Every structure is written in C-alpha cells, then in structure tokens.
Amino acid sequence: MASPTVTSEPVAARRRRVGRRHEAFWAVVFLTPAIAALVVLRVVPTVGAIITSVYKAFPGGIIPATYTGAGNYESLFSDPNFVDTILRTLVFNLIINPLQIALALLLAVLFVQRIPLVGAWRTLVFVPVTVPIVGSCIAWGAALNPNGPINALLSALGGNPQPFLTSPDQALACIIVLASWIGIGYWMLFLISGLQAIPEDLYDAAKIDRAGPFRTFFHITIPMLRRPLLFVLVADTVANFVLFVPVQLLTQGGPQGSTTLLMFDAYRTTYGYGSRNLGAAEVVILTLIMIFFVLLQFRLLREEKTPR
Amino acid sequence: MTYIPQMTRRRVLAGFAATTAAALVLSGCSGGDDGSSSSGDSGWSVPSTDPTATIKVLSILDLKTAHMQEVIDAFQKAHPTIKIDYQSVAFDALNSTIDARVANKGGDPDVYWADQPRISALAARGEAEDLTAAFASYKDKFDPTAYDAGVYQDKVWALPIANSTQLLYYNKALLKKAGIPFPSASVDQRMTWEQLTKDAAKAKAAGAQYGMLFGQFDRYYQLEPLPVQLGGSVGATGDKNLTPDFTSEQWVKAFTWYGDLFKQGIAPRGMKPEESDPAFVAGRAAYTVEGPWLIPQLGESKVDWGIAPQPVFQGGKPTTPTGSWSLAMNPFSKQKEAAAIFMKWMSIDEGGGYIKYRSDPELAASTEGKKIYFQKSVFSSPEGKKAAPIIDYETSHTAVNRVQTIGYIEFETILNQAFADIRNGADAKTALDNASTQLATAWKKYE
Amino acid sequence: MTVTPHATEAAGAFTAVARPPVNKPPRRRSTSTVVLTAVSVIVGLGFVLPAVWIFIGSFRPNLEILTTMSPLSWHLIIPSELTLENYSRLLFDSGFARALLNSFIVCIASVALGLAMSAMAAYALAVFHFPGRNLIFAVIVISFMVPFEAIAIPLAQQFTDWGLGNTMVGLILPGLGNGLAIFNLRQYFLGIPQSYREAAMLDGASEPRILFSLYARLSGPALTNSALLIFLGQWTAFLWPLLIVSDNSLQLAPVALASTFGEHAADYGQNFAGTIVLTLVPAISIFVLQRFFGRLSIESGEK
C-alpha cells in the first residue's frame, strides 16, 4: 500500500490529496449500485446470451448442451425464413422511422403556430401516448377487424372493405399505422421543444431577407433542429427495432409470415419452440444491431452538452 | 493536476477485472446443481399407504373460476396426509413454464398438466418421468386412443384425465327458417361435409348471420380429421414422425374445401376461436362443429338446439378429433410416490377423481369415468340424451389421435399458421407447401 | 445557463405540454390561420377518436360495442346504454385488481430504489472529479440505453437460474436501470453551482447529506421527470412480466389485460375498461406530480 510522503508537503497540497481520496471514496460508494445494476442487467445477460448461442442443445434445457461454435449462426443465416425476417425488419425500420419523424415534425410545426386553443389540440395528439400499448393493440385489432368499424367507415364512404390484418400485403402496414398513432405524439413534443429553442432573431433576419415559408423552413428551421431531429430519429429507431407487442397480440408473425419481425422471432424461437440456443443467437444479433444504434444516439446526445 | 493514489488506480483496475469475472461467473451459474440425481431415482412405485408429503401441482385450470377447488378438496379428504400446493398458469404459458421449471431440476412442480400431443416432446426432452412400471397395468381402464396418447417409444409418460370429441350442433329455428331438414342423430346416417356446405349456405341466405362455425378455427386439433377422412396421413411420417407429410392430394382437397367455406362467406373470416361459442349460443349461427363442452352453455341459453354426429367427406371414412389433457410427473420430483397417488386418484380411482368431483362436466378418458359423465344432468335433456351415444361411439370408434412426434410444437405452430392463411384466402396447395418447407427447416435440429 | 436545454427539455417533455407557443410576430386572423386551425382540429380529433371510442366503449355493454361496429352509424360513438358493469366485473370478479396492485407495488418500489440509485450515480458523475469519469458516464448511460427488450430473453433465463423467476424482486430489478434518468439528473446537477456544495461542506455536511438534502430539494423538475420515466417504464412493461412471471397471482396489469383479451376476445367492454384504468393511472400521476414538483427549481435555491 503506497503511502504519500507526509513530512515535507505543504498543508494545502495535503488537503487537496485528502480531498481527492475523499471524493474517490464517495464516488465509489455512489456509483456502486449503478455499476452493479449495469453488470447484472446488461453485461451478464449479454455474456450469457453469447455463451448460450455457441452451444447446441435439444429443446427443453435438460439434456446437456454441446459446443458448436458458430453453428447456430450458420443455421440461422442459411435459413431463408430468418434472412427474410432480418430483411423485413430492416425494411420495416427504413419505412417507419423516417415516416414517424416526418409526421411528428409536421405536427410540431403545426402546433407551434399561433392557433386558438393550440394547447388543447396538442394534448389530443398526445393522448394516444398515454394509452398502454396493450390496450391500443386490442382496440385497433377490433377496429381493423374485417367486420369492424374501419371497414364500416370505408363502406360508408363508398370504398371496399379491406382485409387489413388478415392480408399478408396489408398487415405490416396496419402495424405501422397503429404504432404511429401510439408514438407520434411523444416525438412531436421533443420537436416542439426543439422548435421553441430556435432564437427569434433568426426568423426576423429571414423576414428581412423576404424569405418565404418554405425557404425559411428548409434553410433555418431544419438546420437549427438538426440535433433534436437526429436524436428523435435514432431514439425512435431503437424503439421500433424491438417492436413486439402488436405482433404478439394481433398477428403472431402472420399472415404468411409477413409481420415476423426480429424481436418476435427471437421470442418465438426461445419460448414457442423451446430452442434456447438458436434464440440466444438471434438475441445476440439483435443486440449488436441495437448497440450500434444506441452508440449513435449517445453520440448525438453528447453533442448537446457543448455550450452555445 | 490529478494526483491518483496508487491504491485508487489499482482498485479501479481490480474492480474492472472483478466485474468481468463476476459477469462470467454469474452468467454460468445455474441454481439447480444441487447434486440431486440426474434422471431421478427409478425404482419407486405406488405405495399402499400414503406418505406424508406436499406436492406441487401445475395446471392450466384456475382453482376458483374453473372449479378445481372442489376436486382438490375431495383429494385432500381421501388422502389427508398429502397436501396439494396448486398453481395455475395461462395455457399459452404452460410449455415455457414447464421447460423452465423442470430444467431447474429443483423438483417443482411434482405433477403438471400435459397437452396430449406434446407428450412425446416432453418425454424426449427429459421432462417427464417414465411411468411404465407403475401404471402400464392400468391400460384397459382407459379408452385406447386416450391411453395411447401418453405412450412414446413403448413407454408410458402420462396418464389421461380427460378426453374430447366433436359433434355437429344446429340451430333449429334458423334451419326451419331456411326449410332445411334436421340432420339425423344416428351415427349410421352421418351428414357429408358437402351437404352441410350447401345447407349452411342456404341458412345464411335465409337470414342467419353465420352459416357455420368451427369451435376452433384454424387449429390442427379441429381440422386434423378432414384429410384423414379422405385417406391422408395425420401430418407426418418417417422414422420418428419427423418428416412433414401434409402436401398430399388429400390434404390439398380437404383444405381447399376449408378455404372455400370462407371465400363463399358461409363461415366468417376474422372470428377468433374464442368468439365462436358465444356466437352460436347467442343464436347467430345455423351450424357449429364443437365439442361436448358446448352442451352446458346451450342448456342455459335461449337457443333451440339439435345435435348430430360430425360430418364426413363423401366417400371418406368417419374420423373425429380427440384428445385432451394428461398428467405427467417431473423426473426431478422429490415426492414421486405422493405424486403418483395424486395422478392415480385423478385419472383412475372411482373413474377418475377429476371427472367425478369437478362440477363442470368433462368427458372422461376412462371407461368407468364415462359412465359417471353420461349421468351428469346436461345429458338429461332430450337433445342431451341423443348426444350421449354419439359421444360414446365416436370416442371408441372414430377417434384418431393427433400426430405423435417430438417436434409437435413446431408442427402445430407452423401448420396452424398455414390454416389461418388458407382461411384468409391463401391457396391451399401453396400454403401447405410453404409450411412443409418451413417445418422441415425447423425440424432439422432433431436430426 | 450555458447548458443547452435540449436534452433536459426532451426528457421534461411532459412539462412542455403546458408551455405557451413560441413568440411569433402577431398575425392577422387570416385565412391561413383559419386553415391551420381547421387542420389542427381535424388532426387532434383524428388522434383522439380511437381513444374516445375506447373510453366510451368501457361504459357500454359488450354486446352493444359488437353490434355497432358495422355498419357505420352514429351509434359507434353515441352509446344507447351506459353501464358500469365492465368496470365492476373487471375489478371485482377477475384477477385484474390483483394485477393492478402488483403493478403499483412494482412501480413504486422501482421509483424509490431507481431514483436513489440514479441520483447517486448522477451526483458522483456530476460533482466528483476522478479519472475516467466521462468514460464511466458514457458506459453507464449507453448500457442502459440499449433497449431492455434486446436482452430481456437471456436476462429472464439468468433470473430464473438465480431463483428470481416469478418473484417481486425479479420484477422490480430491471426497472432500476434507466440511462435517461441518470443522464437527466446529471445534466441538472451540473447546473447547480458548486458554491452550494462547498458551503455545505464547510458546515460539515457529508456527501450523502449534500445529495439527499441539498441537491434533491433543488432538483424538483429533474427528479420528477426521472421518477416519471422509471414509473412509466415499469407501468407499461409487458415483455418482462410476460417472460418472468408464470403465476397468475403475481402477474402485472398489462399482461393480465392481454391474457383476458386472449381468453375472452369477444369481451371488448371489459378489455376497454381495463385499458382506461391502465391509462388513467399514469395520466393522473403526471398531473399530480407536475403540480407538486414542477415548482421547485434552482431558482428557489438561490433564496
């Protein structure tokens, strides 16, 4: 144990050193719960999933597993259904995330205008966010029933009843609509904050330059909104990548596999089929993709800290 | 600027190393290695005197709402020294719960509800105890198909506590309105599906909201007899039944018929299985194919109902769905004798305690239990009296078990999805072909 | 304030609802305003209509909900019969009340423990100076921002192996780690002048006292927002309770609601009632917490 030489040091330096040690001690105490939680809640399952994924076992978990290295990953990537699932998940996210953020942005822009009772309309858009996703899925499932109210509305307007969740061509789109209804209000609020933080003088300068609304929007609003916009885009991607509840409650991956997204597939492989090891491999793949997006999100968040 | 005491730096590094090490240890640590024997101790038998023990029972029937309390009470009365610790989970959660708990090797639960077609899978996974020595001698107490459902590779793994079959119910008022004659209740004058299709369409045209319903749309349990009636297989063949076999001509014909029912609007798309009983009981459907459990509900309803045997395809062999729940024992149970006594009481004693003491009438798997079942009040009504002989005949003569394969879970999941797709308009041949390839991939892991 | 308010405001989005719109130059009541208002109304109604349907449906007999679904009529929204039966059956006859209680217990315990843990970590990362501080901060926040669903399945298997399956503890633990909560609190703590802490230390206060008495009192909004994040995370949790709980009497509300949907898919009345109950709790909590804690801020600390 190293001990500092005490004899010839000035008092101030000693106090500094004691101060540092004092801080280090309390830092450890205060950080231990969070770090312990981190280890237990993130590190351990990730390590566990990786270990499980390199073994192969008879479903069920009693018969001991055998080491298989990359065997499970090979099985997964040579299974056309799994490759389809990954592609489907990627395409799904490529569509839903820009769509939701663009809509949220439009709504945000709308609701920062001077409109009577704007707070009320804003709150109405936010209401779906407060409804628990289970309830929303149940209600939308009822509404989208081929004999349900949405088809009734379509018929009344002169259109044809649609199969919605029972059609492989429409089911995923329905889930996109449902997820958007639930989530857009949330992202809209973030963007409203961002819009409200844009300094007035920029808009005044634009007015002086006689810039029209579109020019103002694309040359001032969007650039100033870049950080919150990117943050919201990545956060939304993270949430949508692990979308699970609507698939679990409404379609179970069908019809004809058209709504089988990666998170649901991992769940079904592990709990439906009892293939823990294959499921663990899917989880590892999912987690790697997630970590990438989270790192991205954090990068963007951190840039917030630089003072302006 | 920053003076870092030697100790602190070392502590930080040590902490980091400890964290990683902890992670590795924790993730590898499992709670079940308590030295109990790997495959359970063999050589137990059903004792003649009751041991004093508490056994844990895992079921899918709620103690209160499914009236299991009375059954448990009756058991406690008959065997006071064996206490039952009863727990129920939702049906969807049962398999994963069994997987997780039994794999823990802690012996919890001692006895659990096992879905009959999954018994081979349970046995192959090592999640069920071999009951041959203790119970093979009771074979003739049961209906043969019910008993066979618990047999895999010539060993007994589970005891049936209930059975099922399917019947054709019809709404007399709706049939009268359409001028359709009532189907006969005699098993010798069975309707054909083809005739039923025509009649259901007529009833719908005359004003019924639904022409016909199935108790369990899109489920293999319900639909398995259709191709079998035409001479097709139950769905798998080969060594150990691990080769998909549902793309044959008979399967395609049967399921083209199924899909057409919905295309023509005779039966509804989008109706969930759970919704079909309430719909028939509310008088909105002319026909439904459902099990005997519909009878008590009809007794309390306003529907003027009639009963007939389940139809068969023209020129086909009468075949009916069958099977229900069995009880299996955890191979790591520490109370095997007590568990065995409970299982015997539930399925065999007095015709099966489960049948005798449960107020909800349940079709028994044992011959003695069936007698008790047919004496229940639901069979005293005029139609009920007609139902009893049908049920008895079907369970003894036309019942065909679902396919027994260790890969049953994948089989049923994938095939049910295909059925749902066919109901929603997919071409039967394509859907079955796709499902077959999917299943072949899923079953690779059993090679 | 030199700290860009984006992130804290993002997390404090709930309070943002009450804010007035940004100060734009006054416009005349022109056609554009009318058009925008019309659009706002339509959009607002469009979003809220399904929720209204659920709300009204929860007070109607189930049969009426089913029969008014098609064909289209005013009766879809205008009920002809109102009843409290859905709520009474839900709360008294089913296991849902039990599930609600379980959810409350889990949420409150998670907030209490999670807030303490986040505040401690945020304090250490904001106030202390030690090597690797930024790295540790990054690691902690990044790890907890990896969405829980990604590792829920292996974590559930670990918990079961450790004997935490089907336990309250197993339900509470994962809710404690919330990266955004730590991030927010740290952000806020960074804005509290060091002079307060130094003054307190001269008075002989220990670090815990500084954190829990001084900083906590100054951090009303941030604590509220973080508490809400943790609370809502646990209140809406579906996948985790689905994986970890098998005993019906321990199940949480969202899963209980979903399972009644599976068993009695035709009983929309009850399902809607359950949905409304589950919605009201966080809505009321947000409202209450905003009123009580929205006031406290650093400004009040100056006095």
To which residue do tokens 């009644």 refer? C260
Instruction: For residue A157, give both structure tokens.
Output: 């307007």
| C145/B243 Cα distance (integer angstroms) | 44
Residue A301: phi, psi to the nearest 5? Answer: -60, -45
For the cut 90, the answer to whether the pLDDT of residue A225 exceeds it is no
Give the lowest-confidence range in A130-139, A158-167, B329-338, C282-291.
C282-291
Answer whether residue C73 is part of any domain. no
Q: Interface partners of B (3+ CB pairs, < 8 Å)?
A: A, C
pLDDT given at position A7: 53
Cβ-defined contact of B125 to A167 (cutoff 8 Å): no
For the cut 90, the answer to whether the pLDDT of residue B294 exceeds it is yes
* Contact of B206 with B198, CB cutoff 8 Å: no
Instruction: For residue C45, give both structure tokens.
Output: 């109604």
Cβ-defined contact of B421 to A20 (cutoff 8 Å): no
- Interior CA angle at C113 toward C109 and C116, to 5°? 145
Q: What would the pLDDT profile of A62-102 be if each residue is shown by its tens digit?
A: 888 889 989 999 989 998 889 999 999 999 999 999 999 99
Q: What would the pLDDT profile of B77-134 be if each residue is shown by its tens digit?
A: 999 999 999 988 877 778 878 887 888 788 889 999 999 999 999 999 899 999 999 9
Cβ-defined contact of B93 to C266 (cutoff 8 Å): no
Q: Chain B residues with CB inside 8 Å of A75's CB?
A: 444-445
CATH class of A78-305: mainly alpha
Structural domain containing residue C165? 89-302
**How many domains is chain C built from?**
1
In angstroms, how far is the first alpha carbon of chain A from the final one? 45
Q: Chain B residues with CB inside 8 Å of A39's CB?
A: 19, 22-23, 26
pLDDT over 70 percentage in chain A = 91
| B231/B245 Cα distance (integer angstroms) | 13
Q: Chain C residues with CB inside 8 Å of A194's CB?
A: 6
- Closest-CA distance, C88 to chain A, in angstroms, reads 18
Q: Chain B residues with CB inside 8 Å of A20's CB?
A: 2-5
Cβ-defined contact of A135 to C40 (cutoff 8 Å): no
Residue A39: phi, psi to the nearest 5? Answer: -65, -50
CA nearest C242: which of B110, A247, A294?
A247
| C200/C190 Cα distance (integer angstroms) | 17
Handedness of CA B301, B303, B307, B312 (dihedral sign): negative
> B326 - beta bridge partners?
B114, B160
In the chain, the amino acid numbered B280 is F
pLDDT given at position C117: 93
Could you give the domains of chain B? 53-163+323-375 (3.40.190.10), 167-321+401-446 (3.40.190.10)
* Contact of B175 with B200, CB cutoff 8 Å: no
pLDDT band for B431, please (50, 70, 90 cuts): very high
* Contact of A89 with A261, CB cutoff 8 Å: yes
| B195/B216 Cα distance (integer angstroms) | 21
Q: What CATH number did the domain enclosing C289 receive? A: 1.10.3720.10
Instruction: For residue B107, give both structure tokens.
Output: 């012996």
In chain C, % helix, strand, coil (3-state, to 5) comes to 75, 0, 25
The rounded mean pLDDT for chain B is 88
- Closest-CA distance, A169 to chain C, in angstroms, reads 23
Q: Chain A residues with CB inside 8 Å of C286's CB?
A: 130
CB count within 10 Å of CB A215 equals: 12
Give the residue-averaged pLDDT of C75-82: 83
Give the lowest-confidence range in B5-9, C96-100, C242-246.
B5-9
Give the residue-averaged pLDDT of B380-406: 93
CA-CA-CA-CA dihedral for B44, B46, B52, B57, to nearest 10: 90
Answer whether residue C3 is part of any domain. no
For the cut 90, the answer to whether the pLDDT of residue B76 exceeds it is yes
Q: What are the domain boundaries of chain A?
A: 11-53, 78-305
Answer whether residue C80 is part of any domain. no
Q: What would the pLDDT profile of C191-231 be if each residue is shown by its tens digit?
A: 888 888 888 888 888 888 888 888 888 888 888 888 888 98
pLDDT band for C264, please (50, 70, 90 cuts): low
Inter-chain Cβ pairs, chain B and chain C, closer than 8 A: 50
Nearest to A149 among C70, C176, C236 (CB): C70
Nearest to B270 among A17, A24, A166 (CB): A166
Answer whether residue C35 is part of any domain. no
Statement: the pTM of the whole predicted model exceeds 0.90: no
pLDDT over 90 percentage in chain B = 72
Chain B, 357 to 416: residues with Cβ < 8 Å from chain C are none
Nearest to C132 among B12, B31, B278 (CB): B12
Give the lowest-confidence range in A213-222, A250-259, B170-179, B246-255.
A213-222
**Torsional class of C132: left (φ above 0), alpha (ψ -120 to 50), beta (otherwise):** left
Chain B, 260 to 279: residues with Cβ < 8 Å from chain C are 272, 274-275, 278-279
Cβ-defined contact of A51 to B27 (cutoff 8 Å): yes
Q: Chain A residues with CB inside 8 Å of C198's CB?
A: none
On the question of a cis peptide bond just before residue B51, with omega within 30 degrees of 0, the verdict is no
In the chain, the amino acid numbered B387 is A
